[in-house]
Chains A and B, each alone.
Chain A
Amino acid sequence: MAEEAITEASVEASGEASVEASVEARAEGVPAAEAWIPRVSRRAALRDGLRAYGLIVGMWMRSTMAYRASFVMTAFGNFAATAFDFVAILLMFAHVDALGGYSLPEVAFLYGTSATAFGLSDLALGSMDRLGRRVRDGTLDTLLLRPVPVLAQVAADRFALRRLGRIAQGLLVLGYALLTVDIDWTVTRALMLPMMVLSGAAIFSAVFVAGAAFQFWAQDASEVQNSFTYGGTTLLQYPPTLFAKDLVRGVTFVVPLAFVNWIPALYVLGREDPLGLPDLAAFLPPLVAVVCCALAGVAWRAGLRAYRSTGS
């Protein structure tokens, strides 16, 4: 019954109203709520959260598609914005043959893997930096009242399909890299590619969630998270040999962004790790991703628990 209400509500309306309406429609049919359910049904809660996320995302996609020309333009804009980053790298290589000992195809490989992994997580969770605003203006309270996990609601809020532009750009550069780069392909190395992109996306997603959790305490600090998300992907687009050892250590052991692409990519490219980590480290990204996501989840729960409504 709830299902039908959702589709009806969302097909008719578009924009914010549709989400409000349909999430409320859903609320009538589903009684359970995330934080108050017993441990046995945690898995059900996860499934519920993902389903809610999917429903809200679907709604925003339909709403986006109501203005198709605008979608095409903004997606292109997203594509172009990141493309300029790569144009700057191409212009650099107009003057040099190698940067930090890496050729253009190798840098393109780093760029493509980093940009694609980041693009995926940006598409899925990129709207989370709006959380601070919601805390500030008190609209987060509305989300708390709904029997849908808050994380799913915040993550799917204003889902921006235009971010496909960024992924497309990353994939394009990755394609160029794969065509030109000199890799001694083996089965392990080939499998490494999807593994690193997916694990990388999960690691960036954890950063997005942790950054949003931080905004429960510092509502105006959404830019701090840009340093780790946008800053992180920019950092990973260049070879690690460019940077000071301490910086590389920091993004390996403190905020483990190096596992997004540096460590596995160096293995694929057959290069020495600048920190002298063993080859085995290249197989760790999935594990690192799981740990990061778990930690981000803990941070999120702590943040949500610390939340005090503005009361207005």
Chain B
Amino acid sequence: MRLYAVVAAGGFRRYATYRVATFAGVFTNTVFGFIMAYTYTALWDERPHLGGYDLSQAVTYVWLGQALLMTCAMMGGGFEDELIERIRTGDIAVDLYRPADLQLWWMAGDLGRAAFHLLGRGIVPMVLGSFAFELALPRDPLTWLAFLFAVMLGVVVSFAIRFLVALSAFWLMDGAGAAQMAMLAGMFFSGLLLPLNLFPGVLGEVARALPWSSLLQVPADVFLGKHTGWDLAGAYAFQAGWALALLATGRLLQTVATRRVVVQGG
């Protein structure tokens, strides 16, 4: 357990090293936040209470999206590129030889990364956004805590998906195609482009049931106070259910995949 805590701390520090990159990222998140917040303002001006949000909640949703974009790695990026490369080059053999669990090792690192991205990339754009727009920030500190827990579950779901993407490289050798598909799905079905409650009919129902909704839609609804009491427990159960199912699939796939690994001597 101590080992994984160290790995997580390492993941945090690794991303914290690049200060200029973090600053640049914050700048970009803020610019996109502004563009989308203006768009949503026009949309909600036309149709107040669309999707059950009022204007300030809709704009808050935009800034939450920018805050969690990197944290929950909605568009991918992060550890999976590295893992794919290790699988392709064969370095994975060394990883399997280590006295640590492959899945837990990478998950610990990714949780550390997410923690940094939440602090380093999440807070500043939100604060800047709050200067220009009226945001619906929770008054109750418990709601903030509930939100943080939902974000953590979202990160785990996101990790589990990206771990599956990375493992596909055992069969495909080149993970670029799978990573791209995952990016598209993550961008669209997390609710980053448009809240999932605005998706019409069956598309909406399917989108809300898919694992990607754990990345943004569910944490945002917790933040906006849409889930309370048993409903909140249900939201957590939804996220945790997907997390467990996807992690278990990853574990299974890992077992199958490692049987395929052949270490060429030399």
Residues of A bordering B, CB below 8 Å: 70, 73-74, 77, 80-81, 84-85, 87-88, 91-92, 94-96, 98-100, 218-224, 226-227, 231, 234-235, 238, 241-244, 247
Given contacts A95-B47, A98-B46, contact A77 B38 (CB under 8 A): no
Q: Which of B5-13, B27-35, B145-153, B248-256 lies at the interface?
A: B27-35
Residues of B bordering A, CB below 8 Å: 18, 20-21, 23-25, 27-28, 31-32, 34-35, 38-39, 41-43, 46-47, 50, 174, 176-177, 180-181, 183-184, 187-188, 193-194, 198-200
- From A70, A84, A100, B184 is in contact (CB under 8 Å) with A84
With a CB–CB cut-off of 8 A, which chain B residues contact A222?
24
Assembled-state Cα–Cα distance A20/B222 (Å): 54
- Are A95's CB and B28's CB within 8 A? no
With a CB–CB cut-off of 8 A, which chain B residues contact A242?
38-39, 41-42
14 new A-B contacts, CB < 8 A, other than A221-B24, A227-B32, A231-B32, are A70-B176, A81-B184, A81-B187, A91-B199, A95-B43, A95-B50, A98-B46, A100-B42, A224-B27, A226-B28, A227-B27, A227-B28, A231-B28, A243-B35
- Are A224's CB and B28's CB within 8 A? yes
With a CB–CB cut-off of 8 A, which chain A residues contact B184?
77, 80-81, 84
- Are B31's CB and A227's CB within 8 A? yes
Interface secondary structure of B, over-half rule: helix
CB distance from B74 to the nearest CB of A (A): 12
Assembled-state Cα–Cα distance A244/B132 (Å): 10
Assembled-state Cα–Cα distance A242/B46 (Å): 12
Assembled-state Cα–Cα distance A235/B27 (Å): 15
- Are B47's CB and A77's CB within 8 A? no
- Are A95's CB and B24's CB within 8 A? no
With a CB–CB cut-off of 8 A, which chain B residues contact A238?
35, 38-39, 42
Given contacts A231-B35, A235-B35, A242-B39, contact A220 B177 (CB under 8 A): no
CB distance from B171 to the nearest CB of A (A): 15
- Are B39's CB and A70's CB within 8 A? no
- Are A243's CB and B38's CB within 8 A? yes
CB distance from B15 to the nearest CB of A (A): 12
Given contacts A84-B184, A84-B193, A91-B194, contact A96 B24 (CB under 8 A): no
- Are B188's CB and A91's CB within 8 A? no
With a CB–CB cut-off of 8 A, which chain B residues contact A84?
184, 187-188, 193
With a CB–CB cut-off of 8 A, which chain A residues contact B174?
70
- From B35, B43, B187, A99 is in contact (CB under 8 Å) with B43
- Are B25's CB and A223's CB within 8 A? yes
- From A96, A224, A234, A243, B47 is in contact (CB under 8 Å) with A96
- Are A81's CB and B183's CB within 8 A? yes
CB distance from A86 to the nearest CB of B (A): 10
With a CB–CB cut-off of 8 A, which chain B residues contact A95?
43, 46-47, 50, 198
